[in-house]
């Protein structure tokens, strides 16, 4: 069961009472329902263990991309690829699993002003918020 909406300076998310692997699968499904595919999966815990011999909480970064929105953004600003894809994190924090998505509008703070980019970011944010909200709706 999901609950407890979370807002951060540059993202938003939710906390869930499910194991990490289940949260990842539910998150991927919710993203897919909003037109996002997961291009990359980075297991931060495993990377830190391998590279630094450090133990860290289970922490996965999903690189989510909505191809239609990405194309519109790239046509508006060819260098916007530096800010793609939209990252979604799923991590175990104590006894809870937290799922958070980047706020595309917050990311635009480093890009030159553009009406089209603002529109794309607003649409991406709406879709990501719906995906996170769908996790709250699941029992």
Residues in contact with 92: Cβ distance below 8 Å, sequence separation at least 6, in sequence order = 20, 57, 58, 59, 98
* Confidence band, pLDDT 50/70/90 cuts, at residue 6: low
- Give the CA distances from residue 22 to residues 8, 18, 28, 99, in Å, rounded to whole numbers and listed in that order: 23, 6, 10, 11
What are the tens digits of pLDDT across the range 22-76?
A: 999 999 999 999 999 999 999 999 999 999 999 999 999 999 999 999 999 999 9
Q: Which residue has the higher pLDDT, 2 or 42?
A: 42
Q: Name the fold adopted by 2-137.
A: TATA-Binding Protein (3.30.310)
Does 139 score more than 70 pLDDT? no
What are the tens digits of pLDDT across the range 85-133?
A: 999 999 998 888 999 999 999 988 888 878 999 999 999 999 999 999 9
Domain boundaries, the chain: 2-137
What are the tens digits of pLDDT across the range 77-86?
A: 999 999 999 9
Distance of CA 116 to the CA centre of its chain: 21
């Amino acid at each position: 069961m999901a609950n407890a909406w979370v807002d951060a300076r540059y993202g938003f998310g939710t906390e869930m009472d499910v194991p990490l692997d289940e949260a990842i699968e539910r998150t991927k499904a919710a993203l897919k329902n909003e037109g996002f595919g997961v291009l990359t999966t980075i297991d931060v815990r495993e990377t830190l263990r391998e590279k630094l011999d450090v133990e860290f909480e289970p922490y996965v970064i999903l690189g989510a991309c909505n191809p239609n929105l990405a194309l519109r953004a790239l046509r508006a600003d060819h260098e916007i690829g530096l800010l793609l894809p939209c990252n979604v994190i799923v991590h175990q924090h104590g006894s809870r699993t937290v799922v958070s998505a980047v706020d595309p509008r917050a990311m635009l703070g480093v890009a030159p002003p553009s009406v089209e980019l603002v529109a794309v970011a607003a649409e991406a944010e709406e879709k990501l918020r719906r995906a996170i909200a769908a996790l709250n709706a699941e029992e």
